Each structure stands twice: as C-alpha cells, then as structure tokens.
Amino acid sequence: MKNPNLNSVLNKEEFDKRDIIYMLSLTDKNEVENLYYRANEVRKEFCGDDVHLRGIIEFSNYCEQDCLYCGLRISNDALPRYRMTKDEILATVEHIHKAKIFTVVLQSGEDFSYTKEFISDLIREIKLNYGLAITLSLGERGFEEYLEWKNAGADRYLLKHESANKKLYSAIHNKQSLDERIKHLVYLKSIGFQVGSGNIIGLPGQTPDDIADDILLCKSLINDMASFSPFIPSNDTPLCNVSKADVQLTLKTMAVARIVLKDAHIPSTTALGSLIEGGREKGLEVGANVVMPNYTPNPYRQNYKIYEGKICVTDDPLACSGCLKFKIESIGRKVGESFGHSLK
C-alpha cells in the first residue's frame, strides 16, 4: 500500500467522522481498490463467507406517505395499486420455504388497511407452518403494533432512516421527521427486534458529510442490519429528473459501512443490481453478506415500482433465487444454511 495514511486509517479499530469522510472521498483507483479489499477482509473476519438469502414479498404497494423519491408515494396516481390476500402471501411463503430460504421479509408501503391483527395472524401462521425467520418492513407503525408483532414471533424489523441529515430528511419527506423515525428505531430495538436501518445514496444535496452521519447513526443505533442503496429516479415523482446515484460512491459507502459497522448484516441491494450489470455480485465483494431474492408473484411484482428499471420484475419469481445462488457460488461464496440472525 503506497499511502501510509490510508493504511493506518483502514486498519483502525474505531473510526471518527473524519476517518469516514476521508475513506468516502478516496478517488485514486488503487486506493479505492485498497478500501474494497479491506472491506472484504472485515466481512470475512466478522461474517464469514456465507451469503444469507432473504426472500422478500412486497405484498402491497399502497402507501400513505409521500416521500419525494419513492414511486409508491400516495400522490403517484399513475401507479396501478395492489394488495395481496393472506392466502396469496402464504402461498408465496411456501415457495420461499421450498427454496430452502430461511427468512421471509414482509414488505409493503405504509398501508394501514393491514391491521395489527392481520399481521399478527400472518406471523403466527408462518411460524407455525414454516418456522421461518420473519423480517417486517412495513414503515412507521404504532408502538403497540410493534410489540404485538414481536410477541407473535416476528424476529426483525427494517426501517431505513433514509437520511441522518435533519434538513435533508424533512425536505424529502412530507410528513415524517427524523426524530420520530429514530424514536421508532430505538423502541423496536428495546423490545427485542433485530433492527435494520440505512440510507439512500445520491439524494439531491447530500454530501459525504451526510453519508458519514448515516453510517455513524447506524453504529449508534447498534443496527443488526444496515442497508445503503443507490438512488434511482422514479417516474411520476418530484425527483424524476435527479440523476441516479454514482456507482463508485455507492460501493465506497458499502465498503466503509462494513469497515465501521464490522458485524452488521449488509445487503447487496436490488437497487445496486439495477444500477449496474453485476451490481449485486460487486456489492458482495465490497462488504455485503446478504441478498434479497424477490418472491413477489406476478402480476403484482412489476407494480412495486419504487424506482425505474428494477431488475428481475419480468422474471419468473421462482427462478430468481436459483439464479442468485448460482451468482453467489460463481464468486466463491456460500449460500447460508442458517437463519442468518444478528451477529451481535
């Protein structure tokens, strides 16, 4: 390694904000490669070679929120909406179970037509019949609801903080506030959920300083999982003309997050795979250890249109995990055969 300063930063145990901004700002090709190399080493040391698959079911694209970046926002009248029934969701869980995937992620927009009881019954039925680990990703819901779902057997909750910069947060969210979001994350953790948060990279006006704060927020929340996904514009949203995220900045953010967060589960996102060909494999080589095959059935899957050009939406959902398993093995990694619970 030519740059002794870089070497000493990469090998630190603890990182302050200056270190993080320094790593994010690297541009020299060799230095960036060194960063990726170190992230891969840290991933191997703390998480091993297993890549955990999480089968995701996007069961409703109705959303009461109006986030400027998101194609599901309530003001988007151009999007055909759908809600899956309990039987449809359970039939999809069965496919995930058969594929030997040990986690189901139940995701939707903020759709309160699915009541506390509906979700609790669903959780109990999945646990009883399939014994899968269950991750919920339903947006901001009530604290009572979270507690009941935890008691019903849900294991994890994903709620990205999206941006740790209060001003930016308020600019891109119509109703929500960052303080409120953090309260939810703290509560979820306090009742025993394994919690995931994370940001969107490439939001308009976002700086490396903001991304450093995003990573540090995940650290201070003791996130079990953390997701850093690239912004991709969505038609019919106020941010439709904003450029998509820079690929290298996305990969650097994932790498720095791995180096700083050490044993957190970090997904290589579908958005990264949509941003560049082979993106998910690349993400796995710069620190990620999780991928989320999309099991949302047809005809719904094409309408969970958070952004344009999402990969795999025209594929047979059952082919997706086979294809991902092949990709994982082709880069010398193993498909996890455990629940892939938190490493904390």
- Judged by beta carbon distances under 5 to 8 A according to partner kind, the member of ligand 5AD, ligand FES, none in contact with residue 231 is ligand 5AD
Residue 73 binds which of ligand FES, ligand 5AD, none (CB < 5-8 A, kind-dependent) = ligand FES
194 in Cβ contact with 173 (< 8 Å): no
Q: How far is the CB of 122 from ligand FES (least distance, A)?
A: 20
Residue placing its CB nearer to ligand FES in the complex, 109 or 273:
109
Closest approach of Cβ 63 to ligand FES, in Å? 3
Residues 164, 306: Cα–Cα separation, whole Å:
21
Output 26 or 106, the one with its CB closest to ligand 5AD. 106
Question: Minimum Å distance from CB 203 to ligand FES?
Answer: 13
By beta-carbon proximity to ligand FES, the closer residue of 177 and 338 is 177
Q: Which residues bind ligand FES (CB under 6 A)?
A: 63, 65-67, 70, 72-73, 109-110, 139
**Helices assigned H by DSSP within 27-75:** 29-47
Q: What are phi and psi of 131, to 5 degrees?
A: 65, 20
How far apart are CB 222 and ligand 5AD at their closest, in Å? 19
Interface with ligand 5AD by CB under 6 A: which residues? 69-70, 160, 162, 200, 229, 231-232, 234, 271, 306-307
Distance CA 12, CA 192 (A): 30
Contact (Cβ atoms closer than 8 angstroms) between residue 230 and residue 244: yes
Of these partners, ligand 5AD, ligand FES, none, which one is at the site of residue 160 (CB under 5 to 8 Å by kind)? ligand 5AD
Q: CA–CA distance from 203 to each of 14, 71, 309, 311 (Å)? A: 27, 15, 18, 21
Q: How far is the CB of 134 from ligand FES (least distance, A)?
A: 20
Closest distance between ligand FES and the C-beta of residue 229, in Å?
14
Core vs surface per residue 223-250: b (16+ CB within 10 A) or e: bbbbbbbbbbbbeebebeebebbebebb
Residue closer to ligand 5AD by CB (options 42, 63) is: 63
Nearest residue by C-beta to ligand FES?
67
Contacts (Cβ under 8 Å, ≥6 apart) of 87: none
157 binds, among ligand FES, ligand 5AD, none (CB under 5 to 8 A by kind): none
Q: Which does 155 bind (CB under 5 to 8 A by kind): ligand 5AD, ligand FES, none?
A: none
What is the token pair recorded at 295? 């099991």
Report the alpha-carbon distance of residue 78 to residue 337 in Å, rounded. Answer: 41
Beta-bridge partner residues of 106: 57, 136
